Copies of this chain bind each other. A is one copy, B any other.
């Protein structure tokens, strides 16, 4: 009955994202979230995706085309800290999604890192519109993962409660560093 952190993040996206919305997939990876967002925003919306790995962008582009979502998805072969270079107005985005760690079934030595992850989160926050969400799936079992987890927690725990709700959701009795969800909602 209790949902995994991943399922709960999808439940929140279903609630937060409407047809025509602008959204960001900060870590495209195998494209699951890009496709989900593309489905939610529809042909009048927009999904802007980032990944530093050509393999991730290429695989996801093929899926996007196959599913008929090409018109609403822009993929960028660059790090998510480039969110700061997007010409988007403040309070114009309904969802930003991060998956920390490495590309599943990819090169496990290529991982997200605290400096660029924090920069990407900080660039994302002003873009969120009221009731918009920034969702971070925190995978931290890999080398350096705990440092990144702690750095991200330190950042979101100190977001002012008059402007944001910050939720932590996850199972806590599992071995192997189970992922958890951080959900930041703009009030």
Contacts and interface: CB of A to CB of B under 8 A. Distances in A.
A2 B167 contact: yes
A15 B185 CA distance: 25
Name A's interface SS.
mixed
A153 B133 CA distance: 28
B161 A175 contact: yes
A183 interface: yes
A158 interface: yes
Nearest to A158: B173
A169 interface: yes
Contact of A173 (B16, B157, B172): B157
Contacts of A110: none
Interface string A147-186: 0000001001111110011111111111100000001010
Given A167-B170, A171-B167, A173-B158, A133 B16 contact: no
B175 A171 contact: no
Nearest to A185: B2
Looking at A131, A171, A175, which has the most chain B CB atoms within 10 Å of its CB?
A: A171
Contacts of A12: 1-2
